[in-house]
Amino acid sequence: MRLPEIDRGDGLTNRLLIGFISTVSGMRLPDAARVAFYHKNFFGTPMGAWTQATMRGPSMWTVGERELMAAMVAQWNSCAFCVGAHGAVAAKAMERLLVDAVLADFRSAPISEALKGALEFLEIMTLRPMELSAEHAEAALRSELTAGALKDAMAVGTLFNIITRYASTLDFAMPSAKEFHRAAGMLLKRGYAR
């Protein structure tokens, strides 16, 4: 963590809360949650509400599919923390083997054509956004994907092009696989809003 104040919490209440949650959960509170507690009125609260709506609100995609999209955007942005965190949530909602297959090569993974089409669009959106054109959107819509579902996928792509960037910039500490698994259970149960 490159900003120590986020690590320890701003203000006595947040410091106590971070310490309490870490003690009760038996693991260091992940940096993503520490950011959510930091400078809340500026970023944590609106970002939490936005993330909750996108990842847990009404959507054409299941929670597992959205978490998988998040993990893929993280992979394209070389954010190991977010790949680990959202891959673990997807694995809990779907299957670990399927998540690993998608992360290794989504084009050959046994997923729906609609999800494949969405991921192909998200890949360009993430890596080469200025190249995006109607042709890319039309290609996605030909893969059994509705315009509404594509828009929902774009919302996940937008969100995780933000989250991965501040995670990398702040240099989030990497939890162990066991800790990611435990944190994933909390994210599935409680969601993102703080």
Partner 1 sequence: MEAPYDDLACQIGEAAWRVTNAQVASVLAAAGSEKAAFELIAAAATGAGLLRWQQAIKALEETSDAPS
CA dihedral 124, 128, 132, 138 (to 10 degrees): -20
CA distance 165 to 125: 15
CA distance 39 to 127: 30
Residue with tokens 């299941």: 62
Q: Where in 66-95 is the site for partner 1 (CB under 8 A)?
A: 77-79
Query: Who's near 33: CB < 8 A, 6+ residues apart?
Result: 21
Look up residue 101 and give its two tokens. Answer: 């297959």
Angle formed at CA 105 by CA 103 and CA 92, multiple of 5 degrees: 30
| Site membership for partner 1, residue 157 (CB under 8 A) | yes
Report in angstroms how near the CB of residue 73 gets to partner 1 at its nearest: 10
| Site membership for partner 1, residue 15 (CB under 8 A) | no
| Site membership for partner 1, residue 63 (CB under 8 A) | no
Q: Candidates 85-93, 154-162, 172-180, 186-194 — which segment interacts with partner 1 by CB under 8 A?
A: 154-162
Look up residue 100 and give its two tokens. Answer: 């690993």
Report in angstroms how near the CB of residue 137 gets to partner 1 at its nearest: 4
Q: Where in 161-190 is the site for partner 1 (CB under 8 A)?
A: 161-171
Q: Which is nearer to partner 1, 7 or 188 (CB)?
A: 7
Among 42, 58, 105, 110, binds partner 1 (CB under 8 A): 42
CA distance 18 to 152: 32
Site residues (CB under 8 A) for partner 1? 2-6, 10, 38-39, 42-43, 77-79, 121, 125-126, 129-130, 132-134, 136-138, 141, 147-148, 150-151, 154-155, 157-171
